[in-house]
Amino acid sequence: MALNETTWNASAAEDESSQVLQCVPLWGMVCLVTNSTAFFINVFHLFVISRLESLKGSKYRCVLISISLTDMTWLLVVMLSSSCSGFFLSIYRSKEPSKRLPVLITIYIATYNSYYVFLIAIVEKYMAICKPLCYDSSIIVRKLPAAFVLAWTLVAVLATTRALLETFIPTGSFASSGLWKVCFVLLLTVLPSTVAGVLVTKIYVELRRMRVISPKVNETADAAMYLIIIFSLEMIALIINLVSLGIFLFSGIGIYIIMWISFVKPTYTVSNVVIYGWRTKTYKQYVCGMLPCESSRASAA
């Protein structure tokens, strides 16, 4: 499920009986354009978030920044791999650990960090919605930036461990079976997603109960609902990635994986921005104020 099992494997698939991969250079260009567009939209998103007075000093701002940074890390790696595919492919195929190891570590961190970042973000909203009396005393809430850094560090350690195993374990029954790769995938994606999914369900149930008692939705509940929506989209993207990888492993046709990298993942990262902007009045007002037509209309008034 990692990026090296998608972009480079799809580009390097040697299936002479299939002509579908002849369009890989074209998809590489499409991949570069779509991911570059999504990257700069997220940069703009971070700029707007940093300018909103209503978010300054809030936990929600830390959550939004962390989610955007994880998306941007993925997009940046895909952009580099698309624009320099031959160079990256030669490094990935290289048997020299000094060349191959840093690339593998970077790829795995970019692929997996979003799952643990989402877990930390959802834990914070779970404490705010379901355990409000314990919210201020929670270590994760009080040290939220440090919690996100710890999540990145944990993913970096696991990613480095997997990269070391792939680089230095000799070919044999243990290495060729791929069982340890499945264990890493379960640990890096399924475990945090399962825990986050259970907490999201509890948050949603509590939000429904809160709306029955008081139909007026407060800022904390609205932030939790936004997180539920984008986490659900992340899980849909993960399922599509699993299906795409399965198709590649059983058929050898890598175009499906390239389409996932070119369209599904960047679309998801942009949808985060669109959903938040659509749901947040101050965000929309700030963006509209930057438009030339809105500026001229305000000056005329």
Q: What is the pTM of this model?
A: 0.79
CATH architecture of 3-12+20-300: Up-down Bundle (1.20)
Question: Mean pLDDT throughout 127-143?
Answer: 87
CA dihedral 96, 102, 104, 109 (to 10 degrees): 170
Q: Can you list the alpha helix ranges (DSSP code H) found in the chain? A: 7-12, 24-51, 59-83, 85-93, 97-130, 139-142, 144-168, 173-177, 179-185, 191-213, 219-251, 255-259, 265-279, 281-290, 292-300
Residue 172: pLDDT over 70: no
Residue 284 in 3-state DSSP?
Answer: helix
Question: Mean pLDDT throughout 95-103?
Answer: 75
Which position has the token pair 């230095």?
A: 168
- Residue 30 CB: number of other CB atoms within 10 A? 17
**pLDDT, tens digit (0-9, with 9 covering 90-100), for 208-264:** 887 655 555 677 888 888 899 999 988 888 787 777 767 766 765 555 566 666 677
pLDDT attached to residue 199: 94
pLDDT attached to residue 56: 83
| Structure tokens given for 245 | 């990888």
**pLDDT, tens digit (0-9, with 9 covering 90-100), for 15-28:** 433 333 334 566 67
**pLDDT, tens digit (0-9, with 9 covering 90-100), for 161-170:** 888 887 776 5
- d(Cα 148, Cα 73) in Å, to the nearest integer? 14
Which position has the token pair 């993960």?
A: 238
Residue 188: pLDDT over 60: yes
- d(Cα 256, Cα 247) in Å, to the nearest integer? 8
Top-confidence residue, 150 or 91: 150
**pLDDT, tens digit (0-9, with 9 covering 90-100), for 107-125:** 889 888 999 999 999 999 9
In terms of C-beta distances under 8 Å and separation of at least 24 residues, what long-range contacts does 86-89 make, across chains too?
88/8, 89/8, 89/11, 89/12
pLDDT attached to residue 11: 43
